[in-house]
Amino acid sequence: MDLQKLSLKLHPLERQVLPVLTKETELGAITKKSGLQEIEVMRALQWLENKEIVSVHTEKKKVVQLDRNGIKYKREGLPEKAFLAVLSDEFKGLNVITKKSKLSREEVNACIGLLKRKVAIEVQNGDVLSVKITNQGKKLIGMPSFEEQFLAKEFPLDILLIKDIDKHAFDELKKRKEFLKVEEQKTVTVMLTEIGHKLLTTNLTHDVINRLTPAMLKTGSWKNKEFRAYDIEINVPKIYPGKKHFVTEAVEYITQIWLDMGFKEMSGGYVQSAFWDLDALFVPQDHPAREMQDTFYVEGKAILPPLWTKVKEVHENGGDTGSTGWQYTFSQEESEKVLLRTHTTVLSARTISNLTKVDLPAKFFSVGKVFRNETLDWKHLFEFYQVEGIVVDPHANLKHLKGYLTQFYKKMGFDKVRMRPAHFPYTEPSLEVDVFHPVKKEWIELGGAGIFRPEVVKPLLGFDCPVLAWGQGMGRIIAEYWNITDIRDLYKNDLKQIRNMKSWLK
């Protein structure tokens, strides 16, 4: 290493601190000897460490310090001693004790509780509370208590060096208001490296100009001067600013897509009734999705809305929808069950039930969490985000549905989108949405969509009307962007992952 070149790169603060390190290694002593402020010394040491000229070690330890009352009573003596000193074998009222001891009423009350535990006083309840000293109390007057012995120590005190015999006194004093406080103390020590020792043999005092000023340019005084060199490749400490979780960034981006397309956001609770989550969407009550192994049920019973009877009729015989329904006896008990929502489509059902003809056409979306009783593995979660949307419009058709979804996925970065026929209990026709992965060169299935059946719409809205609907799993949509192959990595509490993950930019 060229020591001369290295010396030219030193900042004036580094030049001032470096010679001090031959005799001093502790931060406080270095600061005092150099004549600099501590923050200037720390900055210089940081730069020197980056250049491998010094090594800096920080040791943390917990120490016990005296707090406000601890300082006061170390100087004046503990209040219980003053309290005991004015007592006698005869009962005395608190007013007398307070006056003679010159203690505050707060101190007197604290002393009574403390000394009763030590059997040092006897208390008599009457019109006026009275106190007298016991034989044990007389013994305490003549000898220093464990608490007094502890206060007599030199502070700050390393908490790890407190002896077993002193721990009781420490615990007792800690209970008292503003007696002791435990603080973290940092000790910074600095050692010269081999490069540092060699560098000290060079001339660190020669005149090096730190920066070029307008005055120097004007007078020409910069000519034949030596300027400090700047190493633009040197390692510098990393700064980790506040940062949103990358999944939150994606949620906000997706939310903005739908807002930009004129949609209103739907919201609702995680806990829903089986009626809204399943019955209202024409899912039969004996459907496998309702079983315990697929759904998280919650204790309790839901209150059903008035339109429950309309939904019941549709399930049993189709009601006035023209359908034959599912042809079974509908169970109110099943509808009243409480569960964690299995899809955000429950929000669509609730939203439709609050619309009237004057509200149409209407477009709504949500990006929210749903819950499934899945076995956790690399491609399955029991809690995940779903992107939901509905368009309630008398003139809407399948072509419009394909247009909305194609536009959404293009804004998500997928240029090629295709849709295939599918089957879902509450939409007809139904579609599966696939996007083409440009790297893997294959189609990836991302979600389902369709037009709500009359059996869903008519009981909720009161009349039949086309309702375009979709529910897309967000995890698979965004995982590709971050090259995440294990879906669980989307929700890990991993600070390093959050720091290093690239921001969501599309």
> Could you list the pLDDT tens digit for every one of the 506 residues in the chain?
678 778 878 888 888 899 999 887 898 899 999 999 999 999 999 989 988 999 999 999 999 999 999 999 999 999 999 999 999 989 999 899 989 999 998 999 999 999 999 999 999 988 888 999 999 999 998 889 999 999 999 999 999 889 988 999 999 999 999 999 999 988 899 999 999 898 888 877 767 777 888 988 888 888 877 787 777 776 667 788 888 888 999 999 999 999 999 999 999 999 999 999 999 999 999 888 777 657 899 999 999 999 999 999 999 999 999 999 999 999 999 999 999 999 999 999 999 999 999 999 999 999 999 998 887 777 778 888 999 999 999 999 999 999 999 999 999 888 899 999 999 889 999 999 998 887 778 888 888 999 999 999 999 999 999 999 999 888 878 887 888 888 888 888 888 888 888 888 75
Residues 443, 346 share a domain: yes
* Bridge partners, 433 (sequence order): 419, 447
pLDDT tens per residue across span 201-233: 887 776 777 788 898 888 888 887 778 777 777
Q: Which domain holds residue 226?
A: 1-78+145-237
Residues 185, 303 share a domain: no
Q: How far is the C-alpha of 415 from the C-alpha of 352, rounded, in Å?
A: 32
Residue 407 is predicted with a pLDDT of 94
The answer to whether residue 128 is domain-embedded is no
Say what the alpha-carbon torsion angle 425, 426, 427, 430 is, to the nearest 10 degrees.
-30
The answer to whether residue 67 is domain-embedded is yes
Residue 321 is predicted with a pLDDT of 92
Residue 293 is predicted with a pLDDT of 57
Domain C-terminal end among 210, 237, 264: 237
The answer to whether residue 420 is domain-embedded is yes
Q: How far is the C-alpha of 227 from the C-alpha of 129, rounded, in Å?
A: 82
Residues 176, 154 share a domain: yes
Return the number of other C-beta atoms located less than 10 Å from residue 69's C-beta. 16
Residue 149 is predicted with a pLDDT of 92
Residues 282, 167 share a domain: no
The answer to whether residue 114 is domain-embedded is no
The answer to whether residue 182 is domain-embedded is yes
Domain C-terminal end among 194, 217, 237: 237
Q: How far is the C-alpha of 150 from the C-alpha of 411, rounded, in Å?
A: 69
Helix/strand/coil (H/E/C) assignment for every residue in 315-343 = HHHCCCCCCCCCCCCCCHHHHCCEEECCC
The answer to whether residue 138 is domain-embedded is no
Residue 506 is predicted with a pLDDT of 59
Backbone angles phi, psi at 246, to 5 degrees: -60, -30
Burial of 383 by CB count in 10 Å (0-12 exposed, 13-18 middle, 19+ buried)? middle
Residues 181, 205 share a domain: yes
The answer to whether residue 32 is domain-embedded is yes
Residues 455, 316 share a domain: yes
Residue 292 is predicted with a pLDDT of 62
Domain count for the chain: 2
Return the number of other C-beta atoms located less than 10 Å from residue 67's C-beta. 16
Residues 328, 186 share a domain: no
Residue 415 is predicted with a pLDDT of 87
Domain C-terminal end among 237, 260, 278: 237
CATH number at residue 314: 3.30.930.10
Q: 241-250: list long-range contacts, CB under 8 Å, 24+ apart.
A: 243/498, 243/499, 245/498, 246/482, 246/498, 246/501, 246/502, 246/503, 246/504, 247/385, 247/478, 247/490, 247/491, 249/503, 249/504, 250/474, 250/478, 250/481, 250/504
- Residue 69 per-residue DSSP state: H
Residues 366, 227 share a domain: no
Residues 346, 229 share a domain: no
Residues 396, 294 share a domain: yes
pTM: 0.59
- Answer for the pair 66, 155: CB distance below 8 angstroms, yes or no: yes
The answer to whether residue 95 is domain-embedded is no
Q: What angle do CA 40, 44, 49 make, to 5 degrees?
A: 150
Q: Which of 367, 348, 349, 344 is nearest to 256 (CA)?
A: 367
Residues 252, 160 share a domain: no
Q: 496-505: list long-range contacts, CB under 8 Å, 24+ apart.
A: 498/243, 498/245, 498/246, 499/240, 499/243, 501/246, 502/246, 503/246, 503/249, 504/246, 504/249, 504/250, 504/253, 504/478
Return the number of other C-beta atoms located less than 10 Å from residue 70's C-beta. 20
Residues 270, 212 share a domain: no
Q: How far is the C-alpha of 280 from the C-alpha of 236, rounded, in Å?
A: 60
DSSP symbols for 428-492: EEEEEEEEEETTTTEEEEEEEEEEE-HHHHHHHHSS---EEEEEEEHHHHHHTTTT--SGGGGG-
For residue 322 the two structure tokens come to 């023209």
- Answer for the pair 330, 316: CB distance below 8 angstroms, yes or no: yes
Helix, strand, coil percent content, the chain, rounded in steps of 5: 40, 20, 40
Q: How far is the C-alpha of 88 from the C-alpha of 132, rounded, in Å?
A: 6
